[in-house]
Amino acid sequence: MFKDLQRAESQEQRAKPKKVKGKRLKVRDFVCSVFSPLAFSLLLSALCPLPSAQTLRVLTHDAFAVSEEVIAEFTGETGIVLEFLKAGDAGEIVNRAILTKDNPLADVLYGIDNSLLARAINENIFLPYESPALKRLNLTNSMKEQFQFDESFSVTPVNVCYINFNLDKAYFEENNLALPTDITDLTTETYKGLTVVQNPATSSPGLGFMLSTIARFGEEGDYTWLDYWRDLRNNAVLVSSGWNDAYFTSFTRYGGDKPIVLSYATSPSAEGGATVNLFCEKCVYEQIEAVGILKGTQNEDAAQKFIDYMLSERFQNDIPGTMFVYPLHNDSILSNEFEQFATRPNREHIARLTSDVVEANLQRWLKEWTMVVEQEQ
């Protein structure tokens, strides 16, 4: 490269060395005067190349969204470039991680929730990591008990979602119809044909609602969870394949004919209060989303830094407005609209099943649901 750059000089420059204050230039001065700043920087780059940026690959669900400024800030602080691989919903990304565990697609997985965790732990796909940032969060004792998934810290909780029904207030007002106050109301003649839910076999909120009905009505007794689903089916419930179809096609807010849609407790904040949550005893499913380091990664240290950053105030303050979820950080700054309309359910509203119970029974429950809702007609 040095010879190539020398050829770029003119014959006149080489024949007549420059003078500075009457003195002949030294070799160092000659090199600096002959080469342009750009050429000189190229020479230095060739002789002393800069290290390439480290890339961290994050496998996540389609709903993941964080402000570009937040991502850029992480890269600026650490030099780590983030690459996001979106691969469907939470169930799909966990399946991919399990199927590729011998040759992982990514370094980190974000979006696994409490209903899917037991399967992932049984498949041994995560490296344990206890982030020091967890200790800095302002969590109450009950929150610590609620959010710590397992003692080995296979994954780290990041945010919380609540799956429940949203009601289109305008529809009920225009039709002089009272808002339902319990999910059992949806099986009555008053609300026949007004409800849309998602298939639990293909949708994360659909699965959450099915699990909440199991927690509420149980599998034994005079009225079981399957009896409830039979009543819903007989009351003309619409079952959609996914959340997008249910919300943006069937919901009356977007031109559909169903004013009752299964969605999230944060959805009313996106609608500016035009919708309202239906909260009742054990009718809300708590979905805690977490992040974990995938075994086989060559970037464990970078993965730990990213997890720490996800628990920082900067990241936690961003996600309510980008993903419409509740941050784990108890002191996160929420917008007025979010706080006003994205109401949190009370503890008595939440239906819970442990992840090991879900893992042990899920396939049977899905088969039973399919038999009752889709085949017994």
By C-alpha distance, which of 68, 67, 64 is closest to 92?
64
Q: Let me know whether 275 and 363 are in one domain.
A: yes
Of the listed ranges 44-58, 209-223, 267-281, 286-300, the least confidently predicted one is: 44-58
User: What does the pLDDT read at residue 219?
Assistant: 97
| Residue in the block written with tokens 């490296």 | 127
Answer whether 113's CB lies under 8 Å from 289's CB: yes
Asked if pLDDT for residue 13 goes beyond 70, the answer is no
Q: In which domain, by residue range, is 20 found?
A: 2-47
Question: For residue 188, is it within any domain?
Answer: yes
Q: Based on the domain organization, do 81 and 69 belong to the same domain?
A: yes
Instruction: Let me know whether 146 and 263 are in one domain.
Output: no
Confidence at residue 172, expressed as pLDDT on a 0 to 100 scale? 98
Does the structure show a pLDDT above 80 at 366?
yes
pLDDT tens string 106-156: 999 999 988 888 888 889 999 999 999 887 776 655 555 556 666 788 999
In a domain, 339, yes or no: no
Percent with pLDDT over 70 in the chain: 80
User: What is the per-residue pLDDT for 115?
Assistant: 81
Residues 131 and 245 in one domain: no
- Give the least confident one: 250-264, 321-335, 361-375: 321-335
Q: Is 195 in a helix, a strand, or coil? A: strand
Reported confidence tier of residue 332, pLDDT bands at 50, 70, 90: low
Which residue did the predictor score with more confidence, 222 or 139? 222
Predicted confidence at residue 376, as pLDDT, reads: 66
* pLDDT for the residue 142: 54
Residue-level pLDDT at 349: 96
pLDDT in tens, 275-314: 999 999 999 999 889 999 999 999 999 999 999 999 998 9
274 with 194, same domain: the answer is: yes
73 and 85 in a common domain: yes
Q: Is 296 exposed, middle or buried (0-12, 13-18, 19+ CB in 10 A)?
A: middle
Q: Is residue 341 part of a domain?
A: no
Residue type, 212: S
pTM above 0.85, yes or no: no
159: phi then psi, degrees, rounded to nearest 5: -155, 170
Residue 14 has pLDDT above 70, yes or no: no
**pLDDT at 12 exceeding the cut of 60:** no
In a domain, 355, yes or no: yes
d(CA 259, CA 257): 6
